[in-house]
Amino acid sequence: MEKEKEREKEREKEREKEREKEREKEREKEREKER
Protein backbone atom coordinates (compact mmCIF):
# COMPACT_ATOMS: atom_id res chain seq x y z
CA MET A 1 0.00 0.00 0.00
CA GLU A 2 2.66 2.50 1.01
CA LYS A 3 4.70 1.73 -2.08
CA GLU A 4 1.69 2.46 -4.23
CA LYS A 5 1.26 5.86 -2.62
CA GLU A 6 4.91 6.63 -3.16
CA ARG A 7 4.66 5.70 -6.80
CA GLU A 8 1.63 7.92 -7.15
CA LYS A 9 3.53 10.86 -5.68
CA GLU A 10 6.39 10.28 -8.07
CA ARG A 11 4.05 10.19 -11.02
CA GLU A 12 2.45 13.41 -9.88
CA LYS A 13 5.83 15.11 -9.67
CA GLU A 14 6.66 13.96 -13.18
CA ARG A 15 3.38 15.28 -14.49
CA GLU A 16 4.02 18.61 -12.82
CA LYS A 17 7.43 18.85 -14.45
CA GLU A 18 5.90 18.13 -17.84
CA ARG A 19 3.28 20.81 -17.32
CA GLU A 20 5.95 23.28 -16.34
CA LYS A 21 7.88 22.55 -19.53
CA GLU A 22 4.76 23.09 -21.59
CA ARG A 23 4.09 26.40 -19.88
CA GLU A 24 7.64 27.50 -20.53
CA LYS A 25 7.28 26.70 -24.22
CA GLU A 26 4.08 28.73 -24.37
CA ARG A 27 5.77 31.68 -22.70
CA GLU A 28 8.62 31.49 -25.16
CA LYS A 29 6.18 31.58 -28.07
CA GLU A 30 4.50 34.63 -26.60
CA ARG A 31 7.82 36.40 -26.21
CA GLU A 32 8.65 35.68 -29.81
CA LYS A 33 5.40 37.27 -30.92
CA GLU A 34 6.14 40.39 -28.90
CA ARG A 35 9.34 41.07 -30.82
**Which DSSP letter does residue 16 get?**
H
Per-residue confidence (pLDDT) for residue 34, from 0 to 100: 84
**Which DSSP letter does residue 35 get?**
-
Of 28, 10, 30, 8, nearest to 20 (Cα)?
28
Instruction: Spell out the domain ranges in the chain.
Output: 1-35
Q: Is 15 left (phi over 0), alpha (psi -120 to 50) or beta?
A: alpha
Give the chain's end-to-end CA distance (angstroms, integer).
Answer: 52
How many helices (H) and strands (E) are present in the chain, helices listed first? 1, 0
Q: pLDDT digits over 2-35, tens only? A: 999 999 999 999 999 999 999 999 999 999 998 8
